[in-house]
Structure 1
Amino acid sequence: MPGERFPGDNGGPPLEKPHEWGEGPFGNYFEWRTAQREARKVPYETMRRRAAKAEALGLTYEEYTLEILERGRYLQASDTERIIEIKRKRPLRY
């Protein structure tokens, strides 16, 4: 039964249901998480520059940084189509 505890149960997630790390080997989730954290470690001045650039473009720091990490592109004001595409992918707020 869901929520039922058995002797020796450590209270972890049930093994029958999908996990937050998705399909595939268990270790991949932690390797990706570690790699993502390492990629986001940048000097303070770089963070400030990116934050200012993101604000000028109407993006969040995360959106701007993700574009750099995923595509290797530093967006400019002339990249209006890509900026609009990024904004469209934002979750709706009610």
Structure 2
Amino acid sequence: MEGAEFRGKSLAATARDIADGFLSINPLILKKLMPDDYKNLYHYLRKIQTEVRSEKFPLHDTLSIRNRNMRLHRLHNAIIILQHIARERKVILA
């Protein structure tokens, strides 16, 4: 899994950028990736999604709750888009 890069960053760093909102996924961006990179990016997105979900939930801090939910929303949307494009290109992710 190591070694694949996207815009000069590792796929793990790219997945974190997607979660933080610095990068958004669309079909034009994914066009440049190889089939193995689809699988690796999917793996990293799911891994970060699990990390965000496993963090302690901030019960009384509405700003933290909003930030957490936005990260999960961005990750979910990126995963759905990645799955759709992979299906079109006949790449098996799981």
**TMscore range, shorter length:** under 0.3
Q: Which protein has the bigger helix share?
A: 2
Q: Tell me the TM-score normalized by structure 2.
A: 0.25
Q: Which protein has the bigger strand share?
A: 2
Q: Tell me the TM-score normalized by structure 1.
A: 0.25
